[in-house]
């Protein structure tokens, strides 16, 4: 019931009913008032006609007994009359019931009609005893009509009728009026319900269609029964709105997907912030960056480092675009912050973070490479220039000294040639232009041959060179010359950096589909902070830039490129107590 009254059907139905009820109430009240006056006027006119008729009958038939004629032919059943002269004497009486004796004995005349002696027709309402019941007072309408006969007799016709008959007639009329009003109310109720249902049925369909639109079903359409009325035009407008919504939502969805794809594919970290500093949106690189910062700081209150948060607050507060490069947690980031606007109001900011650490390292490597190449070339060039000038100027005193200088010049030129060759090989490897000639090689005999080659050298410097391996045959698909170059460099470095009575061990282990080859020495080892950089060109763990004679500083860098080209890995770690462990991991050929 409550739902009905809260609906448009109930409200429209109630409005029509209230309006019709109000109109029926006014019409009924006015009609009853009109009918009441109409019945009284009708009764008064009827009494006047009957009085005139009685007077005319009496005047035309003077002295004749006309009582039965007047009582039964002229007067109504509820009407009584009598004729009295100016002295109050009853000349004729036309009564039925209790009033006949009272009128003839002048009782009623003296009580009720004594003051009603007009010179013309007079009508009045008077309370009198009932003509049908003893001891009951009723209201009567009385009319007095005077007349004058030719014989000179003057008189007045007194005719009266009980208002109960008028009231009974009025009551019957009232009942008819109320019945008509009730029928009109019922018909109006049915009509109002039908009309409201007819009007609101399209509205309910529109409500259902609107709910479907709210759920995302933009293909919902309304059937317009007529295009000429407002409801049909509303249905047409609703369908147009659905089409426009579908178009705009698809457009927004496409733009959102496009933006999401762009953000996902970006290597830069993009973070959108609300005005209060909360994160609204971030792409995958930004999520990884935030996670790394969280792992470093272990604080959810500050998702960004304080330096970037300060820049964010400044950008939002002063509506400025900021771009700067900051070192954060040992890495370098290019930070670009732009405010986001909603109209004229700032609603947040977008932060773009580009990791410049690799660029910084490349710049450092570039400068270090130039410095290292210059350093490596400066010494032999200086020696070549110095000894050649000495020979040209004839500084040498003997042929032996001259030959010694020429030998030094030759050795330094060979060293410069090796350096240039290594640089060319490294550049060729890094550019992907190195050609590999792979064969199936049994790794144990292959490494055993290299160990035998270095055994005399190790014995000469009093270093114990060992080779540990199992009896299992392990076949690798590799370029023998390139891999031999790798292990020659690793074993040579291990022997040269191991003191007397030290130990260098080469071992082979199989782990699933890969072969792990380790070169372990008991030398001083490489500092922990230098381990991740030793495979860079010309990198030196000894900061004094001392180098064993004959080395170019490119061996480990070349070794890493060769191993990478064989889909393997090479890494360095410190020993448990001292020394260095160089580990080469290569894939085993599947048979």
Q: Which of 31-45, 330-344, 537-551, 570-584 has the lowest mean pLDDT?
A: 537-551
41 has a pLDDT exceeding 80: no
352 has a pLDDT exceeding 80: yes
358 has a pLDDT exceeding 50: yes
Distance CA 411, CA 21 (A): 125
Buried b / exposed e along 545-574 (16+ C-beta atoms within 10 A):
eeeeeebbbbbbbbbbbbbebbebebebee
Query: What is the model's pLDDT at position 234?
Result: 78
Q: What are phi and psi of 123, to 5 degrees?
A: -120, 140
- The hierarchical CATH code for the domain 360-430 is 1.10.287.130
Q: What are phi and psi of 560, to 5 degrees?
A: -65, -40
Distance CA 80, CA 112 (A): 14
- Distances in whole angstroms, Cα of residue 421 to Cα of each of 146, 232, 411, 428, 554: 160, 88, 15, 10, 10
- Round the average pLDDT of the chain to a whole number and report it: 77
Query: What is the model's pLDDT at position 297?
Result: 65
Query: What are the beta bridge partners of residue 49?
Result: none
Query: What is the model's pLDDT at position 543?
Result: 46
Q: Identify the architecture of domain 1-215 in CATH.
A: 2-Layer Sandwich (3.30)
Q: What are phi and psi of 320, to 5 degrees?
A: -120, 145
What is the homologous superfamily of the domain 267-355 according to CATH? PAS domain (3.30.450.20)
Which residue did the predictor score with more confidence, 196 or 534? 534
- What's the 3-state SS for 1-35? CHHHHHCHHHHHHHHHHHHHHHHHHHHHHHHHHHH
- For residue 567, give both structure tokens: 């889909």
Q: Are 76 and 54 in contact (CB under 8 A)?
A: no
Distance CA 556, CA 568 (A): 15
Query: What is the model's pLDDT at position 505?
Result: 92
Chain segment 82-126, per-residue pLDDT in tens: 777 776 677 777 766 545 555 544 445 555 555 555 555 666 777
Domain pair 267-355 / 360-430, same fold: no
Nearest by Cα to 451 from 426, 419, 484 = 484
Which residue did the predictor score with more confidence, 153 or 566? 566
Distance CA 181, CA 190 (A): 14
The fraction of the chain above a pLDDT of 90, given in percent, is 6
184 has a pLDDT exceeding 50: yes
Where are the chain's structural domains? 1-215, 267-355, 360-430, 439-587
- Distances in whole angstroms, Cα of residue 56 to Cα of each of 59, 92, 148: 5, 14, 10
Q: How many residues does the chain have?
A: 591
In order, the DSSP letters of 522-538 are: -SS---GGGGGGTTSTT
Distance CA 209, CA 144 (A): 79
- Other C-beta atoms closer than 10 Å to the C-beta of 51 total 25
Instruction: Tell me, rounded to whole angstroms, the distance of Cα 357 from its chain centroid.
Output: 38
Contacting residues for 335 by C-beta, under 8 A, at least 6 apart: 308, 311, 322, 323, 324, 325, 326, 351, 352, 353
Choosing among 3.40.250.10, 3.40.50.1970, 3.30.565.10, 3.90.1150.10, the CATH entry for 439-587 is 3.30.565.10
Distance CA 112, CA 534 (A): 144
Distance CA 273, CA 256 (A): 18
Q: Which of 37-51, 232-246, 455-469, 519-533 has the lowest mean pLDDT?
A: 37-51
Place of tokens 């160990």: 451
DSSP state, 70? I
- Other C-beta atoms closer than 10 Å to the C-beta of 1 total 6
Place of tokens 């060759």: 421
Nearest by Cα to 146 from 78, 39, 45, 58 = 58
Chain segment 296-337, per-residue pLDDT in tens: 665 556 667 788 888 888 888 888 888 888 887 778 888 898
Chain segment 238-279, per-residue pLDDT in tens: 788 888 888 888 888 888 888 778 877 788 888 888 888 788
Chain segment 204-239, per-residue pLDDT in tens: 777 788 788 777 787 777 776 666 667 777 778 878
Residue 315, class by beta-carbon neighbours within 10 Å (0-12 exposed, 13-18 middle, 19+ buried)? buried
Distance CA 554, CA 365 (A): 13
448 has a pLDDT exceeding 80: yes
Chain segment 529-569, per-residue pLDDT in tens: 777 778 776 666 554 334 444 455 677 887 888 888 888 99
Which residue did the predictor score with more confidence, 61 or 449? 449
Distance CA 411, CA 403 (A): 12
Kindly provide the residue ranges of all beta strands, DSSP E only, lying in 113-230, ordered along the sequence. Answer: 122-129, 137-148, 154-162
pTM of the model: 0.42
Angle, CA 331 vertex, CA 329 and CA 333 arms, to 5°: 110
Which residue did the predictor score with more confidence, 148 or 29? 29
- Distances in whole angstroms, Cα of residue 398 to Cα of each of 392, 394, 408: 14, 10, 16
- For residue 482, give both structure tokens: 């390139």
Chain segment 363-392, per-residue pLDDT in tens: 776 776 677 667 667 767 777 787 787 777
The predicted model gives 277-297 an average pLDDT of: 80
Query: What is the model's pLDDT at position 534?
Result: 81
């Amino acid at each position: 019931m409550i739902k009905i009254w809260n609906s448009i059907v109930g409200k429209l139905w109630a409005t029509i009913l209230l309006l019709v009820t109000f109109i029926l109430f006014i019409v009924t009240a006015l009609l009853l008032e009109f009918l009441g006056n109409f019945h009284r006027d009708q009764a008064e006119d009827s009494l006047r006609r009957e009085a005139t008729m009685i007077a005319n009958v009496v005047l035309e038939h003077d002295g004749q007994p006309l009582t039965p004629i007047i009582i039964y032919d002229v007067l109504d059943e509820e009407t009584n009359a009598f004729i009295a002269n100016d002295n109050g004497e009853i000349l004729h009486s036309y009564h039925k019931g209790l009033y006949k004796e009272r009128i003839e004995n002048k009782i009623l005349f003296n009580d009720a009609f004594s003051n009603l002696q007009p010179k013309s027709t007079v009508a009045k309402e008077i309370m009198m005893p009932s003509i049908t019941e003893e001891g009951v007072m009723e209201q009567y309408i009385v009319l007095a009509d005077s007349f004058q006969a030719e014989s000179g007799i003057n008189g007045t016709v007194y005719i009266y009728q009980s208002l109960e008959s008028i009231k009974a007639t009025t009551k019957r009329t009232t009942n008819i009026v109320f019945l008509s009003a009730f029928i009109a109310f019922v018909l109006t109720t049915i009509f109002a319900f039908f009309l409201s249902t007819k009007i609101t049925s399209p509205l309910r369909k529109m409500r259902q269609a609107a709910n479907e639109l709210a759920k995302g079903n933009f293909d919902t359409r309304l059937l317009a029964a007529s295009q000429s009325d407002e409801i049909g035009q509303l249905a047409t407008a609703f369908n147009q709105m659905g089409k426009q919504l579908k178009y705009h939502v698809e457009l927004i969805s496409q733009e959102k997907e496009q933006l999401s794809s762009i953000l996902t594919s970006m290597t830069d970290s993009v973070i959108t912030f609300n005005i209060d500093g909360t994160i609204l949106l971030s792409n995958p690189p930004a999520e990884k960056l935030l996670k790394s910062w969280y792992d470093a700081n272990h604080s959810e209150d500050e998702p960004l480092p304080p330096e970037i948060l300060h820049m964010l607050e400044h950008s939002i507060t002063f509506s400025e675009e900021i771009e700067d490069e900051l070192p954060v947690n040992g890495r370098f980031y290019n930070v670009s912050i732009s405010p986001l606007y909603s109209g004229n109001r700032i609603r947040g900011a977008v932060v773009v973070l580009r990791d410049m650490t690799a660029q910084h390292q490349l710049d450092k490597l570039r400068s270090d490479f130039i410095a290292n190449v210059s350093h490596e070339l400066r010494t032999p060039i200086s020696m070549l220039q110095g000894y050649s000038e000495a020979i040209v100027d004839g500084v040498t005193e003997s042929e032996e000294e001259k030959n010694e200088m020429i030998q030094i010049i030759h050795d330094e030129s060979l060293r410069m040639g090796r350096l240039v060759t290594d640089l060319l090989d490294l550049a060729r490897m890094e550019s992907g232009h190195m050609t590999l000639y792979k064969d199936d090689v049994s790794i144990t005999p292959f490494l055993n041959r290299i160990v035998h080659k270095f055994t005399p050298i190790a014995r000469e410097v009093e270093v114990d060179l060992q080779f540990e391996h199992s009896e299992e045959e392990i076949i690798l698909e590799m370029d023998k010359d390139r891999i031999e170059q790798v292990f020659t460099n690793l074993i040579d470095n291990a022997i040269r950096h191991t003191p007397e009575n030290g130990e260098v061990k080469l071992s082979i282990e199989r782990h699933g589909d890969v072969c792990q080859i380790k070169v372990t020495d008991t030398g001083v080892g490489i500092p922990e902070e230098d381990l991740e950089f030793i495979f860079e060109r010309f990198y030196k763990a000894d900061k004094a830039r001392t180098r064993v004679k004959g080395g170019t500083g490119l061996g480990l860098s070349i070794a890493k490129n060769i191993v990478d080209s064989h889909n393997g890995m090479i890494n360095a770690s410190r020993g448990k107590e001292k020394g260095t462990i160089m580990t080469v991991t290569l894939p085993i050929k599947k048979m």
